[in-house]
Amino acid sequence: AFINDDFEGQADETTPEGWLTYLEYNENTANKIDGNSYALIDSSKAHSGTSSVHVKTPGSTYGSPTLFYKAMEQDHDAYYVRTWMYLPNAIGGGVAGNNNEDRVHMMAFNTQINGNSQELRFGASKTGILSTYFNSEYTNVVPTQTINANEWVCVEFAMVKNPVMDHIYAWLNDELLLEITTADDWENGSPGNFLSETTDSQNVTNFISLGWRSFSNNHAMDDLWFDDVVVSNERIGCDL
C-alpha cells in the first residue's frame, strides 16, 4: 500500500496530516471547526483506534464539494482505494428516483482537484443506485445493495488497466458491488481508458479524494466520517 492512514495520534479539529482539503471550491483554506464545511480529525467516532476524519458538508448547496485529498504514486497498472465510512442516512437500494440527474459521490480518482478536473467517481446516481460514473457518464449496472446508516461500512473502489478497456470494480463489505468490464456496462459506451491515457484531460491517477459532493439533493448528509483509508495497486479487502 502506498497510502495507509488510520488518523491516529492527531489532535482533534486539525486537518488530517499529509492530506489537503477542497471545501466549497476553496483549496486548502478555512478548514476550521466553526466553518460552514470542513474535514477535520475527530475523536468522537472511529472505526479503529480513537480517531477518524469528520466531514461536515454545507447542507443543500448544489454541487458544493467537501473533500480531503492526497496525491497518489504514479505508473501503476491498478489503483484500489479502501475506506471505512459512517453515514447518517442510508443510500442505495437499486431503485431510481424521480430525478435522474441526482448524483452524489464519496470518493473519486482525479486528474486535479479544482478547475477542469476529470473524475472517476463512486457514489450514487439517479437518487438510489450505487454506481460509478465518469463526470456525467453513467454505468448501466444496477446493484441492489444499500450503504446502511449509522454503522461503519467498508467500501473499496478500483480501476485496473486492460488492453481493451480499463476495468472498474467496487465492493461493499467485501461483497462485489460493481464490475464494469465492457462498453455495454456504460449507458453511452465506454468513456475511455482511465489509466492508459498520457494527458491530464483523461488520466485520473494523480489524486484520490474522499468526502461528499452532491448534485441536486444532499440526502441530509450533513456529517460523515471516514477512517482507515488505504490506497494500493492490489486488492485490499476489509481485514487490513
pLDDT at 146 over 80: yes
Selected residue with higher pLDDT from 127 and 90: 90
Name the band, by pLDDT with cuts 50, 70 and 90, for residue 102.
confident
Please, what is the average pLDDT of the chain?
90
Task: Select from 123, 125, 118 the least CA-distant residue to 211.
Answer: 123
Is 57 in a helix, a strand, or coil? coil
pLDDT value at residue 196: 66
Handedness of CA 125, 156, 184, 205 (dihedral sign): positive
Question: Who contacts 199 (Cβ-Cβ below 8 Å, separation ≥6)?
Answer: none
Name the band, by pLDDT with cuts 50, 70 and 90, for residue 170.
very high
Q: What is the pTM of this model?
A: 0.94
pLDDT at 89 over 80: yes
pLDDT value at residue 200: 53
Task: Please provide the size of the chain in residues.
Answer: 240
How far apart (Å, rounded) are the C-alpha atoms in residues 151 and 85? 8
Q: What is the pLDDT of residues 25-74, one digit of tens each?
A: 899 988 999 999 999 999 999 999 999 999 999 876 666 899 999 999 99
pLDDT above 70 as % of the chain: 94
Q: How far is CA 102 from CA 23, 86, 131, 217, in A?
A: 20, 21, 12, 6
Q: Tell me whether strands 137-138 and 52-56 are parallel, antiparallel or unpaired.
A: unpaired
